Chain A
Amino acid sequence: MLRKIRITMATLSMLCITLLFLDFTGVLHHWLGWLAKVQFVPAILALNFAVIAILVVLTFIFGRIYCSVICPLGIMQDIMARLRFKKKKHQFTTEKKWLRYPILILFIVAMVCGFGAFWVFLEPYGSFGRIASNLLQPIYLWLNNILAGIAEHYESYMFYDKEIWIRSLPTFIVAAATFFIISAMAINGGRTYCNTICPVGTVLGFVSRFSLFGIRIDKDKCKQCGACVRKCKSSCIDVKTMTVDYSRCVVCGNCTGNCKFGALHYGMMTKSSHNADETSGKDNKNDNVDDGRRAFLTGSVMLATTAALAQTQKKVDGGLAVIEDKISPVRNTPITPPGSLSARNFQQRCTACQLCVAECPNQVLVPSTDLTHFMQPTMSYDKGYCRSECNRCSQVCPTGAIRPISQEEKTSIQIGHAVWVKKNCLPATEGISCGNCARHCPTGAIQMIPSDPNDESSPLIPAVNTAVCIGCGACENLCPANPSAIYVEGHEQHREI
């Protein structure tokens, strides 16, 4: 019974949160956005005390049900563990306190110090987010594009095509590696990851040691046959002493249904049952998630596009000019999305879950390849620009790294300012009349002035009023030059204009 309830709830929650990461239309987050916001670490980062309190109380009463039905990475492991050979049995192991607690401490220290490149690898929600957005969303988009193709055939506008692209190869590799390592651990040892590495598992495990409800073994009925142990994903039932390690039990209910003698029940705890095995175990596999990370950081391959040109004299009709990939400008300060307040706030709070990246309709947000904020989103105007009517990233962010902002607020938030690069500008170098940046500036921050102050009819070049510029990148994206003759420098601290 317990198992059935757990599986039903887990399926539902997994389905919804995965959909949240897959959806690109910006519709689902209205209904499903809360699922990201009730995740443990995001709630802490958002200083959402109500959610933290509820989760702690929930764990204190029922045990670690969070890990079984709310945490998507936990549910993912349960799904992958179904690939395990039926005959391969689980065995009781002792708790690896020497590994769990140091990792937790390192995690907390890294978080407080803002060392995002370390702690984001350990954070379960972010890991799942990277897997969903990097590995699952492309499949979802591909299916969508098939539907879009069919819709196009029938002249329907219900489905539309979305480009499938790897926004950052290192992040993609990290996501894939995380998926394979955690899956391998799940297939091999059930909830090994959750009970040795996951910092959330360690914190909740500490609480669940004292939980009011738990798995109780009726010592009179128990024949010590070990059928429960063989089904225990957490390897936390010790039949010899007839005790359960509640710090590791995720209340999956696999054991209760498997006991032929009815010796296992989920229910109110008595004092005596809270004496879990205290001995600490020996080694085991420890290095995992960040294993091999170093290897991927070196190569930063950004798939970009955009911007044409090679001025050729037209002699024949037809054909299309080749469009070259846009060369990204080198920014002194990376740009963070409107609502993130400052680079520091963003770096400290972002779990690199990629939810905003998956959501961004303008292909602006991409995971950073920079070490200090590795995998955290940064803004790139190679494929699009941050359109004034869109505030979707701010609506979905569960951690407060990007605070919710309205469309009106967004138009006055200055996330950066445009910088003109004379040597790339077509009017300045080739005398071609252009003005595409000024024409598309949503705040009117760019005006065109004669390149020669003494000659009113000389080619017009852009003059940026940085006091009015909000850094949306329309100018950079739509500049015909490659690399762009006008680009955006980020602001460490966002300002209001």
Chain B
Amino acid sequence: MIEINRRQFLQTLGAGAVASSALLAACKGKDEQIQTTTAAKQEPPTDKMTMRVNPNTGDSVSILGYGMMRLPVIEDPDNEGAPPFDQEMINKQVDYAMAHGVNYFDTSPAYCRGESETCTGIALSRHPRDKYFVATKMSNFSPETWSAEASQEMFYNSLKYLQVDYLDYLLLHAIGGTSRDLEGNDLDSEATFNARYMDNGILDWLVEQKQAGKIRNLGFSYHGDIKIFDMLLRWHDEGRYHWDFVQIELNYLDWNFANEINGSNTDAVYLYGELEKRGIPAVIMEPLLGGRLANVPDFILAKMKARRPEDSVASWAFRFAGTPKGVLTVLSGMTYMEHLRENLCTFAPLDPISADEDTFLLDLANDIYNLHEIPCTACKYCMPCPYGLNIPDIFQHYNKMIKEGNMPNNPERAEYAKKRKAFLVGYDRSVPRLRQADHCIGCGECQSHCPQSIKIPEEMRKIDEFVENLKKESFV
């Protein structure tokens, strides 16, 4: 006969509680057993952040960088277009991030309807200046800001809004893109680069600012035409300009597939390789492709969970981006506290991707590529559309339907009617009717702004026709 008396029972119970609280306090250690426990994931440690060293300045930079492009807003149904940013939440999240070792903050004069620098400035100015590195950009996309005066004003405004005397990192923003000048002529990537940085002497002026101590590290972020990327690195080799760092898009999908997805983009394996060769630290953007790599179809999720059942889908992408040694920091636009906590657990400390896992992820990339999603990362560079369209939300809905397996592609199939309804009802839910694809007139205003080089008007037309055909098959 087995007898457990009340006392013994309580003891057993107590021991169990002690064990689980020990796990709770853990979220750390190289020991995978401990690190992957769900309980352990709940509370990130404050002293385990993986740090990388910038060879130029000796800065010890946290591997997790805070992207200030997707700041939280206070939802306001009456002000759908311009909800106010939630400064209280921004402060709280910045404080929390810094308390857990994050020290790199990346913003731009263009982000968040132009308010990101101000919000970032408010949050950071509450901390000692030597406790954080702030990065911002020369975002002179609009031809109205191409003059030396206007660009310089943008720089001075950055200092003012960020409430600092010097910038730790300054980037030429998104080189390799195209543009449309004030007369409406389309400029190619080279002409655009020259108009933004060379003809007006702004690049040289920025070098002067660096010498004057206003900028500690000068670099650039790159999207689009590889010609410009190569040209700038050639200048670096020739000693004409020195790049302290370069910001590139890197994730396990873009590693080998960036060019397949869009012919005008370049695979991350090449970009990173070129930087590593020269010892230029790489700052990583879009490690998660605007959340697309955090929200994968079930069959891919199942494969990930089979390997590391307690790790989040996003953690795979972050670990991949942080693994190469030449990566200085991985930027994540953490809108919500939950994102921040989850990422802190991934990076404090970073558990690098093994060779086996690397192969596994590159195989998954193949699966994701074959979904043929629209490669939108919801960065909103294209917005606002002058005709009121909500471009990112339209693409998000389309991708969501692909991901959920709800694409009504084949009327012969069972489930077609259900998928059709899901697509149409979901479309109206995600995007108000007056902001849907049928209102795109194809003016092309958005085109040059897309860092992913998506042919937006063309895609809009395709989606519009797809929806039209669905609707035409009689109502309800």
Query: Do A and B bind?
Result: yes
Which residues of B, 403-448, contact A by the 8 Å Cβ criterion? 418, 421-422, 425-426, 428-429, 433-435, 438-445
Q: Give bound CA distance, A305 to B439, whole Å.
A: 14
A66 to B114 alpha-carbon distance, docked (Å): 68
Whole-angstrom CA separation of A316 from B326 in the bound complex: 31
Number of contacts between A and B (CB, 8 Å)?
134
List of A residues within 8 angstroms of B422 by Cβ: 157
What interface size band does chain A fall in?
A: 35 or more
Chain B 375-415 per-residue mask, 1 if CB under 8 angstroms from chain A, else 0: 00001110111111010000000000000000000000000
Interfacial chain B residues near A361, Cβ < 8 Å: 475-476
Q: Does A315 lie at the interface of the complex (its beta carbon under 8 Å from any beta carbon of B)?
A: yes
Given contacts A157-B422, A317-B381, A320-B384, contact A434 B81 (CB under 8 A): no
User: At the interface with chain A, which of B25-33, B105-113, B162-170, B203-211?
Assistant: B105-113
The reply to whether B144 and A313 contact each other, CB–CB distance below 8 Å, is yes
Q: Is the CB of B438 within 8 A of A432?
A: no
Bound-state Cα–Cα, A305 to B388, Å: 13
One of A157, A321, A390, A432 near B384 (C-beta < 8 A): A321
Given contacts A315-B114, A320-B82, contact A308 B439 (CB under 8 A): yes
Count how many chain B residues have C-beta atoms less than 8 Å from C-beta atoms of the other chain: 51
Question: Considering the chains assembled together, what is the distance between the CA atoms of A134 and B429 in angstroms?
Answer: 25
Complex CA–CA separation, A426 to B387 (angstroms): 12
The answer, yes or no, to whether A106 is at the interface (CB within 8 Å) is no
A157 to chain B, nearest CB (A): 4
Q: Flag whether B91 is at the interface (Cβ < 8 A).
A: no
Identify B441's interface contact among A314, A318, A323, A480, CB under 8 A.
A480
Does A435 lie at the interface of the complex (its beta carbon under 8 Å from any beta carbon of B)? yes
Name which of B186-194, B334-342, B466-474 contacts chain A: B466-474
A54 to chain B, nearest CB (A): 32
User: Contact between B383 and A309 (Cβ–Cβ < 8 Å)?
Assistant: no
Residue of B nearest to A163 (CB): B433
Q: B379: nearest residue on chain A (CB-CB)? A: A317
Residue pair A432, B435 in contact (C-beta under 8 Å)? no
For residue B100, CB closer than 8 A to chain A, the reply is: no
CB distance from A304 to the nearest CB of B (A): 11
Assess whether A433 is interfacial by the CB under 8 Å rule. yes
For A432, what are the chain B residues with a Cβ–Cβ distance below 8 Å? 441, 443
Instruction: Report B-chain residues with C-beta under 8 Å of the C-beta of A426.
Output: 441
For the complex, what is the distance from the CA of A310 to the CA of B388, rounded to whole Å?
10
With both beta carbons as reference points, the residue of chain A lying nearest to B393 in the complex is identified as A320
- A435: which of B82, B112, B442 is its contact (CB, 8 Å)? B442
Please tell me if B46 contacts chain A, counting CB pairs below 8 Å: no
CB-based nearest A residue for B440: A436
Q: List 19 A-B contacts (CB under 8 A).
A: A308-B439, A315-B110, A315-B141, A315-B142, A317-B110, A317-B113, A318-B383, A319-B380, A320-B81, A320-B385, A321-B386, A387-B471, A387-B475, A388-B472, A433-B444, A436-B441, A436-B442, A478-B439, A480-B439
Residues of A within 8 A of B (CB): 25-27, 152, 157, 160-161, 305-323, 361, 384, 387-390, 392, 407, 426, 432-436, 439-440, 478, 480
